[in-house]
């Protein structure tokens, strides 16, 4: 069960990174968001979804 959860988080993180790189945000903001998602996979993903470039919060 833990392996499935880990794979789902990995897929979601890859999706988030792709969307971050495709966003219209500036280069530094993209780098910061990608690092946040890579360093804190679950928390970074949640923060990106609600506040990241192109996310719900702008």
What total of structural domains would you count in the chain? 1
C-alpha 49 chain-centroid distance: 7
> Is residue 38 in a domain?
yes
Each residue of 16-49: pLDDT tens digit?
A: 999 999 988 888 999 999 999 999 999 998 998 8
d(CA 43, CA 17): 14
Note the pLDDT of residue 16.
92
Note the pLDDT of residue 56.
52
Note the pLDDT of residue 55.
52
Domain that holds residue 34: 2-51
Note the pLDDT of residue 54.
66
Note the pLDDT of residue 53.
74
> Is residue 6 in a domain?
yes
> Is residue 56 in a domain?
no
């Amino acid at each position: 069960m833990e392996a499935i959860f880990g794979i789902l988080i990995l897929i979601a993180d890859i999706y988030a990174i792709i969307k971050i790189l495709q966003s219209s945000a500036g280069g530094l903001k993209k780098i910061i968001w990608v690092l946040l998602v890579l360093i804190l996979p679950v928390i970074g993903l949640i923060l990106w979804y609600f506040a990241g470039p192109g996310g719900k919060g702008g």
